[in-house]
A = this chain, B = another copy of it.
Amino acid sequence: MAENKVLIEMGIRAKAASRKLAAASSAEKDKALDAMAAALLENQDKILAANQTDLEAAQANGMSRAMLDRLALNPQRIASMAQGIRQVASLTDPVGEIVEGIVRPNGLRIQKTRVPLGVVGIIYEARPNVTSDAAALCIKSGNACILRGGKEAINSNIAVANALRQGLARFGFEECVQLLEDTSRETAAQMMRLREYIDVLIPRGGAGLIKSVVENSTIPVIETGVGNCHVYIDEFASRDMAVSITVNAKTSRPSVCNAAETLLVHKSAAPGILPDLARELKNAGVQLRGCEETRKLLSDPDIVPATEEDWATEYLDYIMAVKIVSSIDEAIEHITRYGSGHSECIVTDSYASAEKFTSQVDAAAVYVNASTRFTDGGEFGMGAEIGISTQKLHARGPMGLQELTTTKFIVYGNGQIR
């Protein structure tokens, strides 16, 4: 693959800036974050004008209403981006924490100390607020970042990044935020091989983007996002809780990764719960796709047969697959086979069922009697999140500031040799 000089220059600048930032105190970083927020507000007109250019191009290209809404900025949204940066400033700085510390028999004092990762690469899609959110989390955790947003939002992203850099420049940290203005796929592929300058790559977006990063990156990747989540209603579930959790998990925000996609119901619980639940879901606008037994039980012609593909699909929409299972083991097997390791829920009043489900289901978050929708950095008390990891290395589940750090062992001796 050809080298990309612009990208390499960017990497060199980011790496150098990351060293400077790593040495900064929490107070210095917080001041820089405040300046970023202020600069966003000061540049509101420029940002809105750039966003207008993106919106016009998107409309001309026939972008859907929902996507246009995600792309659109207004004074309120810019204020909320600035507010988000200030909120990140208010969080506890993870850098410098001594995670473990021991003294060895030979007197060596070994301190495992939290330090920034260095340079974080983030590849994302349409929403311009990711530019400021991601930059703020990186700065707070002492990292420089190289951001590569989608081409639909490029003018907005350039305007936002310029504002952030203008704020950072007041403290000499402007090179800590780099935005890749060239949004071609080839350049993204080159970025994924910039091992020398980028310490970790985080893709944020749909399954296609994430797959492409995982397959092409030589930089360590934190895989985020795909959530084929299940609610399992156990034999011993409370009817009201089963209905309210399932409806919430499916309909409170169907477009996000922690929304439920498939409902599994124990055959003993199905007759007493599923008819009411199906009605509530239908009233909320959800189309159901059922296994044969579900369709027999509910005898509703609107419920289409679920196919093998349905079990594997993350709809991100008002659609839910439904399967009646003959045991909790069958439910766990189904989740093991089709789940994406994101968020899984059991509704049960049985201690044994709860124990079995939480120990045998292999996912970032396993819930007993609570909606899958809680898998979120804010809901988990992290203050903010850079994404939700569905891989097992480094971070699993919502990632906050701590997950944007690594550790180093600092070892103090007085002449020890081996």
Contacts and interface: CB of A to CB of B under 8 A. Distances in A.
Interface of A: 19, 22-23, 102, 104, 108, 110, 115, 117-118, 195, 199-200, 214-215, 218, 220-222, 238, 240-241, 244-245, 248-249, 252, 336, 354, 358-360, 362-371, 373-375, 379-381, 391-394, 396-397, 406-418
Contact of A413 (B118, B200, B367): B367
A416 B371 contact: yes
A-B pairs with lowest CB-CB distance, top 7: A370-B413, A248-B417, A392-B406, A394-B394, A370-B416, A373-B418, A393-B394
Contact of A366 (B249, B408, B414): B408
A215 B218 contact: yes
11 contacts: A104-B381, A110-B380, A118-B362, A118-B392, A200-B392, A214-B218, A365-B408, A365-B410, A366-B411, A369-B415, A371-B417
Contact of A393 (B222, B365, B366): B222
Contacts of A248: 417-418
Contact of A245 (B200, B249, B381, B417): B417
A199 B392 contact: yes
Nearest to A108: B370
A95 to B, nearest CB: 10
A415 B118 contact: no
A412 B358 CA distance: 10
A411 B215 contact: no
A408 B368 contact: no
Nearest to A418: B373
Given A19-B336, A200-B393, 19 more contacts: A19-B360, A108-B370, A110-B381, A117-B392, A220-B221, A238-B415, A244-B417, A358-B410, A366-B410, A367-B413, A368-B411, A369-B416, A370-B413, A373-B417, A374-B416, A375-B409, A392-B406, A393-B393, A394-B394
Nearest to A414: B369
Nearest to A223: B220
Given A380-B110, A394-B394, A409 B373 contact: no
A22 B360 CA distance: 8
Contacts of A108: 370, 374, 379
A284 to B, nearest CB: 13
Given A104-B381, A393-B394, A366 B19 contact: no
Contact of A369 (B102, B365, B412): B412
A273 B244 CA distance: 76
Contacts of A215: 218
B392 A397 contact: no
A359 B244 CA distance: 52
Nearest to A412: B368
**Most B-side CB within 10 Å, residue of A245, A360, A411, A416:** A411
Contacts of A19: 336, 360, 362
A195 B391 CA distance: 11
Nearest to A115: B362
Given A360-B19, A392-B406, A418-B252, A411 B221 contact: no
Contacts of A418: 248, 252, 371, 373-374, 379
Nearest to A363: B408
Contacts of A102: 381
Contacts of A373: 417-418
Contacts of A118: 362, 392
**Most B-side CB within 10 Å, residue of A22, A115, A360, A397:** A397
A394 B354 CA distance: 29
